[in-house]
Structure 1
Amino acid sequence: MTEIPALLLITQNLKLWLGYFLGSILSSLNFYFQAKGAESRVGLSPTSAKLSVFKNFYIRYLILVVFVIVCVKFLEVNIFSLLAGLLIAPVIVLIDGILAGKNTQESE
């Protein structure tokens, strides 16, 4: 569903489309690795879990920053479309949470 705007933009500007597409793919991968990291920390002691979460957080965002720099520097994609693509997964989660909250209020 998030790739529909990207497909609509492909005819307008390839670098704009590529930025949005790569950003949304990276955002999805970021959420995937965040979920896998959370699953792997269940059952650990509190101190080792904190350390593991700390390392996982900074490694994920370091990879994200390197990816953004490579995309902007070498692929010369549009930085704003790349950032819009990176924000698409959190926005969808937020909208889903808002809609889920409305559905529970209506059923009460």
Structure 2
Amino acid sequence: MNTLVENFLYKRGFVLPKVRFLVRNQFYLSILGLFVFIIFFPVPWIVGFGIGALLGSLNFYFMARLAQELVHIAKGAATPLLFSFYVRLILTGLVLYVAIVYWNANIFALLLGLSVILLNVLIFGITLVGQKFKEA
């Protein structure tokens, strides 16, 4: 399964292995969390977590892909980064508004879904603790 996901991400432009690791784990944690919420929580919590996890995962996916591309640009990388940031921020705000007001998603579940990113980065940091790095 990992090789299928790795190949999928590589074909989408994720050439760095650690970035693929982060994006892959982000989707795995989101799906695992959604299964836990489906088993133990009522529908408004499931909807909230699902929307939060999907928003976080999509934001993370596009940010990671853009960051890989911008690393290689010598000048003018700030403009596409800022544009992408503000577009994602506006779209995320609109989706959160619709989810809370119209779909009655639980706010705490939304925050838990968005927090999957933090858990992913924490796990990634823990995996780096024991590794040795080359010094410049």
Class of the TM-score when normalised by the shorter of the 2 chains: 0.7 to 0.9
The answer to whether 1:18 aligns with 2:47 is yes
Give the AA of the match of 2:104: E
- Determine the structure 1 residue equivalent to 2:6: none
- Determine the structure 2 residue equivalent to 1:80: 108
How many residues are aligned here? 103
Q: Structure 1 length normalisation: TM-score?
A: 0.81
Contact 1:7 1:17 in 2 (8 A): no
Contact 2:48 2:113 in 1 (8 A): yes
- Determine the structure 2 residue equivalent to 1:91: 119
Q: Give 1:83 deviation, angstroms.
A: 1.1
- Determine the structure 2 residue equivalent to 1:40: 69
Q: Give 1:42 deviation, angstroms.
A: 4.3
- Determine the structure 2 residue equivalent to 1:6: 34
Deviations 1:53-94 (A, max 9, x none): 111111111111111111111111001101110110232112
In structure 1, stretches of 5+ residues that fail to align are none
In structure 2, stretches of 5+ residues that fail to align are 1-27
Q: Counting helix residues as a fraction of each chain, which structure ranks higher?
A: 1
Q: Give 1:45 deviation, angstroms.
A: 4.4
Q: Which moved more, 1:4-13 or 1:86-95?
A: 4-13
Greater RCO (Cα-Cα under 8 Å, separation 6 or more): 1
Q: Distance in 1 between matches of 2:93 and 2:43?
A: 22
> Which one of the candidate residues 77, 87, 106 is aligned to 1:49?
77
Report % sequence identity: 29
Q: Structure 2 length normalisation: TM-score?
A: 0.66
